[in-house]
Amino acid sequence: MPDDLVVLFEHPEWQKPLWAALDRRGLRYSACDLKRAAFDPDAVPAAPLYFNQASPSAYVRGNTRAVPLALSLMRSLEMGGARVLNGSRAFALELSKSAQAALLHRLGIAHPRSLAFNDPEAALERWTGGWPALVKPEQGGSGARMFLLQSPEELRKLLREQPDLWLPDNLLLLQEYFPVKPGQGIVRMEFLGGKLLYAMRVISHGAFNLCPSEACNPESGGEASHCVVQAPVKPVEFYPYKEVPAEAVAEGERIMAAGGLDVGGIEYLEAADGRRVFYDINANSNLRAPIGQAFGFDPFERVVDWLRSLK
């Protein structure tokens, strides 16, 4: 019998909880490993429903080729009439921090000043966001290759000494830096079908890799991590946030709808002046089972319920 669903993926450890939930519920599915793949545009789609779980951070695991193939495959699937959850439009948004900033600007949602650049001197001529500032990849993911810089000379020195930071797409971002209260951290809201699934507070202890997957940030710390990004000195902490403001949820829903995202994680921080500053839009949403359980459900079972409703 044909599959009801095809899941596009690149990181097998991230997928294990979803595979287990799909198997428990008896949903017919197959998995397309984007690391080693080929497709005939004349022969797709093979199923009515596809679920994109590709990540921009594939390149930090040596899987740079997975991203362009995923985007090309999704475009062909969509032209062939398949429904692709978190399809090419959503994935293209996740691949571009500057596009995320432009979307937030269009929606009138507070966000950090950002400057995309392919030359540090051109960036420094135009940068008005002050110092310290963050430098990060345009195609981000898992907090990789992010640095907090104190001065223009630090930017010049960093790129002289680490030219591979330009990879994979030779485009970087300077972004306004907002310090947060150490014990307060940032807020990440997870959405499923465009609606809030749960929210959590994330205490980073200075780390940039806030991936909520237990495979990357295990409850016990970094010893069992499957993440290639360097583990923080002190484990990242995740707490259920049941009092997330309704206004923040509404802003998150607007971002999801305007960005064409079916599922996603939206992150914001609380600035010193009281503003909510939204700074990251994640289409590949790695759910965290202990947080869902704190709200009284298994988040992966909720994903399967949602997928079954789309058949």
3-state secondary structure of 251: helix
The count of other CB atoms within 10 Å of the CB of residue 296 is: 7
Question: Is 59 within 8 Å of 168 (Cβ atoms)?
Answer: yes
pLDDT score at 260: 97
- 267-275 long-range contacts, CB within 8 A, separation 24+: 267/186, 267/187, 267/188, 267/189, 267/202, 267/210, 268/186, 268/187, 268/189, 269/178, 269/180, 269/186, 269/187, 270/180, 270/181, 270/184, 270/187, 271/110, 271/178, 272/178, 272/179, 275/110
CA dihedral 103, 284, 180, 275 (to 10 degrees): 30
pLDDT score at 167: 87
Report cis status (omega within 30 of 0) of the bond before 232. Answer: no
What superfamily in CATH does domain 114-176 come from?
ATP-grasp fold, A domain (3.30.1490.20)
- Amino acid letter, residue 75: R
pTM of the model: 0.93
Q: What is the largest CA-CA distance in the chain?
A: 61
Q: Where are the alpha helices (DSSP H) in the chain?
A: 12-25, 66-79, 88-94, 97-107, 120-126, 152-161, 246-259, 289-294, 299-309
Instruction: List the domain boundaries for the chain.
Output: 5-93, 114-176, 180-309
Angle (CA) 292 58 187, round 5°: 35
Question: Is 247 within 8 Å of 253 (Cβ atoms)?
Answer: no
pLDDT score at 227: 54
CATH number, span 180-309: 3.30.470.20
Question: Is 114 within 8 Å of 280 (Cβ atoms)?
Answer: no
3-state secondary structure of 310: coil
d(CA 140, CA 168): 10
Structure tokens at 143: 């907090």
d(CA 241, CA 267): 13
Whose tokens are 């806030």? That residue is: 210
- For the chain, 311 residues long, give each residue's pLDDT as a single digit of tens: 568 899 999 999 999 999 999 999 999 999 999 999 999 999 999 899 999 999 999 999 999 999 999 999 999 999 999 999 999 999 999 999 999 999 999 999 999 999 999 999 999 999 999 999 999 999 977 777 899 999 999 999 999 999 999 988 999 999 999 999 888 899 999 999 999 999 999 998 877 777 888 888 887 665 555 555 555 567 899 999 999 999 999 999 999 999 999 999 999 999 999 999 999 999 988 999 999 999 999 999 999 999 999 97
Fold of 5-93: Rossmann fold (3.40.50)
